[in-house]
Amino acid sequence: MAGGIDQGKIAIIGGGIGGLAAALALIRQGVDVAVYEQAPELKELGAGVQISSNGTRVLYALGLGPAIEKVGVIVAGKEIRLWSTGQTWKLFDLGAVSVEHYGFPYMMFHRGDLHAVLLEGIRAAMPDAIHLNRKCVGVSQNANDVEIQFESDEPVTASIAIGADGVQSRVRAALFGADQPEFTGIVAWRGLVPRDRVPAGIKLDVGTNWVGPGGHVVHYPVRGGQLLNFVGLLERDDWRVESWTVQGTRDEFANDFRGWHADIHACIRSVDVPYKWALFSRPPMAAWTRGRVTLLGDACHSMLPMLAQGAVMALEDGLVLARCVKKYGVAAEALQRYETARRERANRAVSGSAENAKRFHNPDLAHAAGAEAYVTREWQEDKVKTRYDWLFTYDATGIAI
């Protein structure tokens, strides 16, 4: 294609967790990769991310075990708490139990720490793979290669291209046209609480879901237990900005959760900087791939943060993609094989996360008596296994491609 600069056989647009995982997996297969990121520097926002055993399996397969063990937190388990009284139910055990049942640990990370581990792995193996200040504005292709256009740089060509550019993907728009996300009616808050400001009633060795009518709160330790990642989600219809970088106020945050347990409000008062964003849903996609271009992670299967699988699905995508490239070559067939291997599973996770939103916010949770019966029914052991075992047992290193 005219005017192109060949910067690698495979171009990855987007340098988030999914894009970096795909890049590192491909580099481990000996493939020449170029990552194009629109930001002037590579860093992740200050938020937490949960990586269940199916995701840590990928990180260990990429040779990152020692690095993630330094920055991640292995929690003992997960628990459910009632929004008003703090009554507690065990959801499931993790820690050694996760390793015993699924082969790998369930870990909590500061998103920036996990991102840095992936970045260091790439720079150690292929120092020139990452190109910053490259905002993609479009892609085009012919029978032989792909051209990626940027806002303020010359276009580049590659044999195949991967759109890992998030929920507002420009690559997706170029392939399939503009999407029409629907506001879910849920606004999310997030912030970090330093360990010395976490109230005594909050455990720092587990992940906790507080459930209530019309809302829920999730918190868990990150950065070696020095910080508590704190996220509150509430049904309200007056805020519709889909951005992770909008600052709110502690007073507004607290007002959204008025009437909730004192420990929740102690955390809200101690959050460093509260951010808020509106949750939008996108229907599962019937296709991710067109010719020599495909999508990965949130670009093709964004999901509500109710199943703790968004980043994990992107990790799985990256490893399966690399395996397909190794088996079928740097060619369109590899991309189609990757999509075939991944789409049904990822779309099931999209649906599962939407179902959990209803489960966490059920009106039966309004009063303690109804809540007891509801939680006992909805989180009985067999139902929990049905909802999570198919996720945690998945092996991206060995599934058929």
Give the active site residues.
220
Is 181 in a helix, a strand, or coil? Answer: coil
Which amino acid, 302?
S
Residue 27, token pair as written in the block: 């580099």
Phi, psi of 367 (to 5 degrees): -125, 150
Those residues whose C-beta lies under 8 Å from the C-beta of residue 136, and which sit 6 or more positions away, are 13, 36, 38, 148, 149, 150, 151, 165, 170, 171
Q: Among candidates 126, 120, 109, 134, which has minimal Cα distance to 56?
A: 109
CA 161, 167, 173, 177 torsion: positive or negative?
positive
Is 281 in a helix, a strand, or coil? Answer: strand
Is 175 in a helix, a strand, or coil? Answer: helix
Strands 130-131 and 107-110: unpaired
Which amino acid, 259?
G
Q: Among candidates 5, 24, 3, which has minimal Cα distance to 317?
A: 24
User: What CA–CA distance (Å, rounded) separates 174 from 300?
Assistant: 13
Residue pair 117/17 in contact (Cβ under 8 Å)? The answer is no
User: What CA–CA distance (Å, rounded) separates 278 from 238?
Assistant: 9
Is 80 in a helix, a strand, or coil? Answer: strand
User: What CA–CA distance (Å, rounded) separates 361 from 213?
Assistant: 5
Query: Which DSSP state fits 247?
Result: B
Residue pair 176/139 in contact (Cβ under 8 Å)? The answer is no
Element at 360 (helix H, strand E)? helix 332-360
Residue 338, token pair as written in the block: 């990757």
Residue pair 28/322 in contact (Cβ under 8 Å)? The answer is yes
